[in-house]
Structure 1
């Protein structure tokens, strides 16, 4: 059998999130995100921005990073092949 599933009532969600969600000790990103829950305010900042300077290192550019060099196109990066012979 499967373990029982417990649900948090809607009215208790804010308290549950503020007291149990995120990393402990709180890092700057958790603090910023949970402040919006505590203040009942949704940030208008774009998800691709970092207003608090607390994450997204290196800064999000809006594009994926460049693929590693693979001169023989076998799917294995050249650096990996060179390092492992």
Structure 2
């Protein structure tokens, strides 16, 4: 009889609305597990539109430079 009461008491306890588990369920799809956000932010600088050739070349070189630096930083972080 005491086991049944203990199980009933344990099942009556509810988790807090803003508990760590619930906050993870809310935030995770918005930040970490959202491929659209991750991919779009990654190519944001490459989506800019230019009308003249000179700004387009400068932007292309800038994007290339940033991608190279990011690749080096990520490689260094992986090897730590």
TM-score range with shorter-chain normalisation? under 0.3
Identify the structure with the greater helix proportion. 2
Question: Max radius of gyration: which structure?
Answer: 2
State the TM-score, normalizing by the size of structure 1: 0.26
